[in-house]
């Protein structure tokens, strides 16, 4: 799904947010991450319309750079961070602590101390043992900490197995399959230094079907009813996670929010309780389609089985997703043409057979120096980028109204040498 602004102009040149992509590539170099700011704001507005901006927590693992965090703060949203690194980054760039949710399958004592001392809005507890750890940190900080308990509801999101986070073999959350989740509610209610605000569930990522969201709501509804009957407690809020996919035909945020409300409402009505505040945690939906990556074609080769490889100047160091999940980006040429086309595989420049960006795609016949655009690379590309083979991490450049504003720079040999000791 390309950003809505991506189109070819009258000269057949691909443009994003009013700027010509080949011009941006020559100004900033390649590979290059471009982010269409208007597209991002529209996507935020879609979620805000569905749930209220104050109930949308941007999942910063999708793409955490200062300018995005500032934009999320300006839009009045919450921020989901994982562990100490993302928490420190968010605090350092001035994101309001009370609007931060701290996640992590394991959070170090240092991370919990920082979170409780800085007064984060919520710590999302991932295991029974973590309840006491959060209480200890809160006691030391002298401040009662609001928490959510992350549940493993056992719902299959029908996505890639590596993106399923609530099935019973997953390492995330506290299982509702036995008595652990109920024990966690009881334990959290007993702790003097934690305030159990509610519960959390994130079933997985890249979900393109409404049914798993509904199943999660049904399972959550069943659990809160049981918890209420057993303990008298009723959640103030339920964070139903992110996970909305971006393929054509995927549901809208409004449809997801509606399914979740419809799933939970009967349980609330049955017990005469108000529907808890509903929070959502989208990452990919917001930034994925807002971003594209521009590569330069650097060569071509025909291999033993007759296929043609086109090589680009990036690859798995800027986009590990094809190798991790078999998730290949769609590719477009930076210039449209009626010239001859060919079927090619597109490979990166890294020393890995899995460093392939596309298999068997039809493209115009491209030569070294031409540019290729990979779509939907705004999420889990820059944030998962590596220095493999000492290839620099590309810069992120925001584009709006034809104006390009770099948000990060490309790193360099000089940066890496600063980490070396004794050379
Ligand atoms: C707890 C949690 N919330 C939200 C998200 C965001 O998911 P997505 O980017 O698919 O919306 C993730 C992604 O892994 C997650 O683990």
Assign 3-class secondary structure to the chain: CCCCCCEECCCCEEEECCEEHHHHHHHHCCCEEEEEHHHHHHHHHHHHHHHCHHHEEEEHHHCCCHHHHHHHHHCCCEEEEEHHHHHHHHHHCCCCHHHEEEECCCCCHHHHHHHHHHCCCEEEECCHHHHHHHHHHHHHHCCCEEEEEEEECCCCCCCCHHHECCCCCCCCCEECCCCHHHHHHHHHHHCCCEEEEEEECCCECCECCCHHHHHHHHHHHHHHHHHHHHHCCCCCEEECCCCECCCCCCCCHHHHHHHHHHHHHHHHHHHCCCCCEEEECCCHHHHCCCEEEEEEEEEEEECCCCCEEEEECCCCCCCCHHHHHCCCCCEEECECCCCCEEEEEEECCCCCCCCEEEEEEEEECCCCCCEEEECCCCCCCHHHCCCHHHCCCCCEEEEECCEEEECCCCCCHHHHHCCCCCC
Phi-psi region of 243 (alpha: psi -120 to 50; beta: other; left: phi over 0): left
pLDDT reported for residue 102: 98
Residue nearest to atom 4 of ligand 1 (CA): 242
Contact 382 CB / ligand 1 (< 6 Å):
no
Query: Among candidates 272, 289, 278, 287, which has minimal Cα distance to 329?
Result: 289
pLDDT score of 167: 77
Annotated domain spans of the chain: 7-36+291-417, 57-281
Q: What is the pLDDT of residue 398?
A: 98
Atom of ligand 1 nearest to the CA of 200: 1
- pTM for this entry: 0.96
Other C-beta atoms lying within 10 Å of the C-beta of residue 197: 21
Pairing between β-strand 78-82 and β-strand 122-125 as defined by DSSP bridges: unpaired
Residue 163: what pLDDT? 76
Q: How far is ligand 1, taken at its centre, from the CA of residue 311, in Å?
A: 32
CATH class as words, domain 57-281:
alpha beta
Contacts of 415 (CB under 8 A, 6+ apart): none
Q: Residue 274: count other Cβ atoms within 10 Å of its Cβ.
A: 9
Distances (CA, A) of 204 to 22, 98, 212, 372: 36, 26, 9, 30
Active site members: 351
Ligand 1 pocket check for 205: Cβ under 6 Å: yes
Q: Tell which atom from ligand 1 comes closest to the C-alpha of 205.
A: 10
Burial of 239 per CB tally in 10 Å (0-12, 13-18, 19+): buried
101 close to 239: Cβ distance less than 8 angstroms: yes
Topology match between the domains 7-36+291-417 and 57-281? no
Locate 95 and state its tokens.
């994101």
Asked if residue 176 has its Cβ within 6 Å of ligand 1, the reply is no
Please tell me the residue having the least CA distance from ligand 1 atom 5: 242
Q: Is the shortest distance between the CB of 173 and ligand 1 below 6 Å?
A: no
Chain centroid, CA 137 distance in Å: 28
Q: Per residue of the chain (423 residues), what is the pLDDT tens digit?
A: 889 999 999 999 999 999 999 999 999 999 999 999 999 999 999 999 999 999 999 999 999 999 999 999 999 999 999 999 999 999 999 999 999 999 999 999 999 999 999 999 999 999 999 999 999 999 999 999 999 999 999 887 887 777 778 878 788 899 999 999 999 999 999 999 999 999 999 999 899 999 999 999 999 999 999 999 999 999 999 999 999 999 999 999 999 999 999 999 999 999 999 999 999 999 999 999 999 999 999 999 999 999 999 999 999 999 999 999 899 999 999 999 888 999 999 999 999 999 999 999 999 999 999 999 999 999 999 999 999 999 999 999 999 999 999 999 999 999 999 999 999
Structure confidence at residue 170 (pLDDT): 82
Ligand 1 contact via 283 beta carbon (within 6 Å): yes
Of 3.40.50.1100, 3.90.1150.200, 1.20.1260.10, 2.40.37.10, the CATH number of 7-36+291-417 is 2.40.37.10
Q: Which protein residue's CA is at the shortest distance from atom 16 of ligand 1? A: 202
Does residue 164 line the site of ligand 1, with CB under 6 A?
A: no
CA of 174 to the centre of ligand 1 (A): 17
For the CA of 103, the closest atom of ligand 1 is 1
Q: What is the pLDDT of residues 225-276, one digit of tens each?
A: 999 999 999 999 999 999 999 999 999 999 999 999 999 999 999 999 999 9
Contact partners, residue 109, CB within 8 Å, separation at least 6: 133, 137
Distances 413 to 326, 350, 382, 391, 392 between C-alpha atoms, Å: 30, 17, 18, 9, 8
Ligand 1 centre to CA of 140 (Å) is 30
In this structure, which residue's CA is closest to atom 13 in ligand 1? 205
pLDDT digits (tens, 9 = 90+) for 207-217: 999 999 999 99
How far does residue 199's CA lie from ligand 1's centre (Å)? 15
């Amino acid at each position: 799904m390309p950003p809505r602004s991506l189109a070819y102009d009258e000269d057949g040149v691909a443009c994003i947010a009013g700027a010509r992509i080949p011009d941006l590539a020559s100004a900033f170099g390649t590979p290059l991450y471009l982010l269409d700011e208007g597209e991002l704001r529209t996507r935020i507005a879609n979620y805000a319309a569905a749930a209220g901006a104050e109930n949308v927590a941007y999942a910063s693992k999708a793409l955490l750079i200062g300018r995005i965090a500032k934009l999320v703060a300006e839009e009045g949203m919450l921020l989901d961070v994982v562990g100490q690194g993302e928490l420190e980054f968010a605090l350092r760039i001035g994101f309001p602590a009370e609007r931060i949710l701290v996640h992590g399958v394991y959070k170090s004592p240092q991370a919990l101390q920082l979170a409780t001392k800085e007064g984060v809005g919520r710590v999302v507890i991932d295991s029974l043992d973590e309840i006491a750890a959060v209480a200890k940190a809160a006691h030391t900080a002298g401040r009662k900490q609001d928490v959510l308990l992350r549940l493993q509801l056992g719902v299959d999101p029908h996505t890639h197995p590596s993106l399923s986070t609530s099935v019973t073999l997953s390492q995330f959350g506290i299982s509702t399959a036995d008595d652990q989740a109920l024990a966690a509610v009881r334990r959290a209610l007993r702790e003097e230094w934690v305030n159990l605000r509610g519960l959390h569930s994130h079933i997985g990522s890249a979900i393109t079907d409404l049914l798993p969201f509904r199943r999660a709501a049904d399972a959550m509804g069943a659990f809160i009813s049981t918890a209420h009957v057993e303990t008298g407690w009723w959640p103030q809020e339920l964070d139903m996670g992110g996970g909305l996919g971006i393929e054509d035909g995927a549901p809208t945020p409004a449809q997801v929010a509606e399914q979740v409300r419809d799933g939970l409402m009967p349980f609330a009505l049955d017990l005469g309780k108000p529907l808890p505040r509903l929070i959502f945690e989208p990452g990919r939906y917001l930034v994925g389609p807002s971003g594209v990556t521009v590569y330069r074609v650097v060569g071509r080769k025909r291999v033993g089985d007759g296929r043609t490889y086109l090589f680009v100047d990036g690859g798995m160091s800027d986009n590990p997703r094809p190798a991790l999940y078999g998730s290949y980006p769609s590719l477009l040429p930076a210039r449209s043409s009626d010239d001859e086309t060919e079927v090619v595989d597109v490979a990166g420049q890294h020393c890995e057979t899995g460093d392939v960006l596309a298999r068997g795609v039809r493209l115009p016949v491209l030569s070294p120096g031409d540019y290729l655009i990979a779509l939907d690379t705004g999420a889990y590309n820059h944030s998962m980028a590596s220095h493999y083979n000492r290839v620099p991490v590309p810069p992120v450049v925001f584009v709006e109204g034809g104006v390009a504003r770099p948000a990060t720079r490309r790193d360099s040999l000089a940066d890496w040498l600063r980490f070396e000791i004794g050379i």
